[in-house]
Amino acid sequence: MSGANALPEPPLPRTRAASIYAVASGKGGVGKTWLSTMLSIAFGRSGQRVLLVDCDLGLANVDVQLGVRPTADVHSVVRGFLELDAAVTPVMGGPGRNGGFDLIAGHSGSGALGAVKLEDVARIATGLTKLAPHYDRIILDLAAGIDPNVLRFARAAERLVLVTTEEPTALTDAYAMVKLLRLQGASVVPWVIVNMAENRHKGRRVFDQFAMACNEYLGFKPKFAGAICRDPRVPDSIRAQTPLPIRHPQSQAYEDVIRIVEVLNAG
């Protein structure tokens, strides 16, 4: 019998380690951080144990968007004070069907990502491999730009989710990111998400153009994960520091996220 005071059992290691997704874009402000948290919630609600890692080591904001106050963050790991598993903060009750998940927070205002050394990224990557058997999905929210550390985190993941908007600057930066990764020998075929689309149809057309350019100049076809409509409920929920599906149980943007999770789960 499990009494009220019984300690929760630690989850058993999975027989298959988590798939690691890097959420990247090149350009900032396209919605990577917001999307990373929504994917974590939606994967959680589909019955998967999720770990979200804020890899924007200079300007972290997963915790700010969610209104959580982590007691430890990835910088304690980088400085060698903590092992990665000790830096985990449960969000919304931790992994479970209510959409909770585990978070390894970044650290705002700590200076540039450039200050983080290659060994630090390697240490985090090794820590993730150790944590992977405890989760079904690990999501890395990457910083903007195509800094060597951003590319290292992207290469540490087996799956790449490339976020863009319909704007030519976002598309050019997404293209630059995937081109650099492939020049570095990564054979990853990215899943592409068109965020803040006017409508899903237009988002799909933007993807088709992007895919054509990748096919013609880089010799591969990216995969379409889906489009997310521009939705005023998104900035509203961020201002309220409350996850979108909690603040607004019905919203176009979160419905679009659910579709994307179905596509990712199937692929």
Ligand X SMILES: Nc1ncnc2c1ncn2[C@@H]1O[C@H](COP(=O)(O)OP(=O)(O)O)[C@@H](O)[C@H]1O
Residue nearest to Mg ion as judged by C-beta position: 33
Give the residue among 144, 177, 127, 140 at the shortest CA–CA distance from 37: 140
Q: Confirm or reject binding of residue 63 to ligand X (CB under 6 A).
A: no
Residue in 21, 25, 131, 210 binding ligand X, rule: CB under 6 A: 25
Token digits for 166?
A: 């319909």
Nearer to ligand X, 73 or 231 (CB): 231
Among positions 21, 34, 135, 175, the unique one binding ligand X when judged by CB under 6 A: 34
> Minimum CB separation from Mg ion for residue 56, in Å?
5
Among 82, 121, 193, 253, binds ligand X (CB under 6 A): 253
Q: Give the whole-angstrom CA distance, residue 139 versus residue 130.
A: 15
Give, as ranges, the residues between 107 and 146 that touch ligand X (CB under 6 A). 144
Residue 263: closest CA among 32, 43, 16? 43
How many residues are recorded in the chain? 267
Q: What is the DSSP letter of 31?
A: S
**Sign of the torsion angle spanned by Cα atoms 58, 61, 62, 64:** positive
Neighbouring residues of 166: CB distance < 8 A, sequence distance ≥ 6 = 194, 196, 197, 198, 202, 203, 206
The phi and psi torsions of 215 (rounded to 5 degrees) equal -65, -45
Q: Is residue 37 a contact residue for Mg ion (CB under 5 A)?
A: no
Q: Which does 31 bind (CB under 5 to 8 A by kind): ligand X, Mg ion, none?
A: ligand X
| Window contacting ligand X (CB under 6 A); options: 30-38, 90-98, 110-118, 152-160 | 30-38
Position 235 contacts ligand X (CB under 6 A): yes
Stretch that binds ligand X, among 21-29, 80-88, 170-178, 242-250 (CB under 6 A): 21-29
Question: Among 25, 33, 37, 149, which residue interacts with Mg ion (rule: CB under 5 A)?
Answer: 33
Q: Over the range 174-196, which residues count as b (16 or more CB within 10 Å of their CB) and which as e? A: bbebbbbbbeeebebebbbbbbb
Binder of residue 178, out of Mg ion, ligand X, none (CB less than 5 to 8 A by kind):
none
If one asks whether residue 53 binds ligand X (CB under 6 A), the answer comes out as: no
Interface contacts to Mg ion, rule CB under 5 A: 32-33
Binding residues vs ligand X (CB under 6 A)? 25, 28-34, 144, 195-196, 228, 230-231, 234-235, 238, 253
